[in-house]
């Protein structure tokens, strides 16, 4: 990980190396945090955060689901994200907002612990590799099932929940694959360890629905809209494991991974073993959207003013636009 200049913590910009938490931070012990992920692209209109609003709103919803009062409005967090990118001088980067129960109390009641809010960004290339993006990846259906809605909240992007994804990811890597495909607790296809999943059969795009314990991906929503705008039929329904193997095309999507074709699952070659036609059309259309080349989706881009006041005064404290002092 390549450090940047500053990180936004509870309303202040602090130097990267000073953005530390106490070892008795509640979230560190019990996973009591929620986070999100966004990307800023060097678009034809200038640096732009893709769907800043949708990501911030999901972050706030995740926090609410775990009883965490955030103390900053969506607008304050969107502004903080833009300012963070500008101050770090990055035209293209990954952005990680996290809200977590902080230092002050221990025990399973988190309600008295403060709520800390942090946004960091750094340069992060293709999550599943450049080759994977162009040629497709090999995936393995995990022996681990996705967290059940009877135990946790799949729709929340919560830190502790990700131990499930870590187990699946490590299992797939150790077995020689690039990514895991996780089934829901009924044995239906759910998603990748950090991506939503789609199969294409007979020209139709099929993706697991909300009741399949998916994370409601922002990229997923974007791709569904793009695909429908292009005239494709997109169906949200339960997908049987065998439909993965029988698919003409399979692809995954997520902020970190973007859109990635899947060329093999459990050693079954998918379609021709190359990225499929519909996958390629969507890849191009999605690229046009994130790089601002598509008029239709320009409202998805939140432009970053790189010359924003104080953008070069990287370590000046207390200059964030949000109010300081989020509390529990
Ligand atoms: C488990 C999981 N599913 C799906 C996604 C895709 O969501 P998005 O497109 O909003 O990044 C992610 C990434 O955030 C994820 O962690």
Mean pLDDT confidence for 190-202: 98
Verify that 164 and 275 share a domain, yes or no: yes
Our answer on whether the CB atom of 255 is closer than 6 Å to any ligand 1 atom is: yes
Ligand 1 atom nearest to 165, measured from its CA: 1
- Report residue 324's pLDDT band, with 50, 70 and 90 as the boundaries: very low
Q: What is the CATH number for 82?
A: 3.30.470.10
Centroid of ligand 1 to alpha carbon of 254 (angstroms):
5
Residue 315 belongs to some domain of the structure: no
Atom 2 of ligand 1 has which residue's CA nearest to it?
194
pLDDT in tens, 12-35: 999 999 999 999 999 999 999 999
Residues with catalytic roles:
157
Same-domain pairing of 120 and 148: no
In a domain, 300, yes or no: no
Nearest-CA neighbor of 82 among 265, 281, 305, 259?
A: 305
Q: Is the pLDDT of residue 327 over 60?
A: no
Answer yes or no: is 143 within a domain.
yes
Rounded to an integer, what distance in angstroms lies between the CA atom of residue 96 and that of residue 59?
11
Distance between CA atoms of residues 250 and 316, nearest Å: 47
Total-model pTM = 0.94
Q: Are residues 180 and 115 in the same domain?
A: no
Tell me, what DSSP letter sits at residue 219? Answer: H
Q: Are residues 184 and 114 in the same domain?
A: no
User: Could you tell me the residue range of the domain that residue 248 belongs to?
Assistant: 130-290
* 179 touches ligand 1 (CB under 6 Å): no
- Domain total for the chain? 2
Please, are residues 247 and 200 in contact by the beta-carbon 8 Å criterion? yes
State the closest ligand 1 atom to the C-alpha of 222, by its place in the atom list counted from 1.
Answer: 9
Q: Is 317's pLDDT higher than 90?
A: no
Express each pLDDT in 290-302 by its tens digit: 999 999 999 999 9
Q: Whose CA is nearest to atom 5 of ligand 1?
A: 195
The lowest-confidence range among 57-66, 99-108, 207-216, 307-316 is: 307-316
List, in sequence order, every beta strand (DSSP E) within the chain: 6-9, 12-15, 33-35, 38-43, 46-50, 93-101, 115-122, 137-145, 179-183, 189-192, 196-201, 204-207, 234-236, 249-254, 258-265, 268-269, 301-303
Give the distance (Å) from ligand 1 centre to CA of residue 279.
Answer: 18
Of the candidates 78, 107, 125, which is a domain's last residue?
A: 125
Residue 301 inside a domain? The answer is no
Question: Using CA positions, which residue lies closest to atom 4 of ligand 1?
Answer: 195
Q: What is the pLDDT of residue 9?
A: 98
* Ligand 1 contacts CB of residue 199 (under 6 A): no
Percent of the chain clearing pLDDT 70 (strictly above): 94
* Token digits of residue 255: 């902020």
Q: How far is the CA of 294 from the centre of ligand 1 (A)?
A: 23
Q: Is 154 in the pocket of ligand 1 (CB under 6 A)?
A: no
């Amino acid at each position: 990980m390549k450090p940047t200049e500053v990180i936004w913590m509870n309303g202040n910009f602090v130097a990267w190396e000073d953005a530390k938490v106490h070892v008795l931070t509640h979230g560190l012990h019990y996973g009591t945090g929620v986070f999100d992920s966004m990307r800023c692209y060097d678009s034809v209109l200038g640096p732009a955060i893709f769907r800043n609003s949708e990501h911030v709103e999901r972050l706030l919803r995740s926090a609410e689901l775990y009883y965490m009062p955030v103390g900053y409005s969506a607008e304050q967090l969107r502004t903080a994200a833009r300012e963070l990118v500008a101050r770090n001088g990055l035209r293209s980067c990954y952005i990680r907002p996290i809200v977590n129960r902080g230092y002050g109390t221990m025990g399973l009641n988190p309600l008295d612990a403060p709520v800390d809010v942090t946004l960091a960004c750094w340069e992060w290339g293709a999550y599943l590799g450049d080759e994977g993006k162009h040629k497709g990846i090999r995936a393995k259906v995990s022996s681990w099932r996705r967290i059940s809605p009877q135990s946790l909240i799949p729709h929340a992007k919560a830190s502790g929940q990700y131990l499930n994804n870590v187990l699946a990811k490590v299992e797939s890597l150790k077995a020689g694959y690039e990514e895991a495909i996780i089934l829901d607790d009924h044995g239906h296809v759910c998603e990748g360890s950090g991506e939503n999943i789609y199969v294409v059969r007979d020209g139709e795009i099929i993706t697991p629905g909300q009741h399949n314990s998916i994370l409601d991906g922002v990229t997923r929503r974007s791709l569904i809209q793009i695909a429908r705008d292009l005239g494709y039929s997109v169906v949200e329904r339960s997908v049987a494991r065998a439909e993965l193997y029988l698919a003409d095309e399979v692809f995954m999507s997520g902020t970190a991974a973007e859109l990635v074709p899947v060329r093999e699952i459990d050693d079954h070659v998918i379609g021709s073993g190359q990225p499929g036609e519909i996958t390629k059309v969507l890849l191009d259309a999605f690229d046009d959207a994130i790089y601002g080349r598509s008029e239709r989706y320009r409202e998805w881009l939140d432009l970053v003013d790189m010359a924003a006041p104080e953008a070069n005064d990287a370590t000046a404290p207390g200059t964030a636009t949000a109010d300081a002092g989020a509390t529990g």
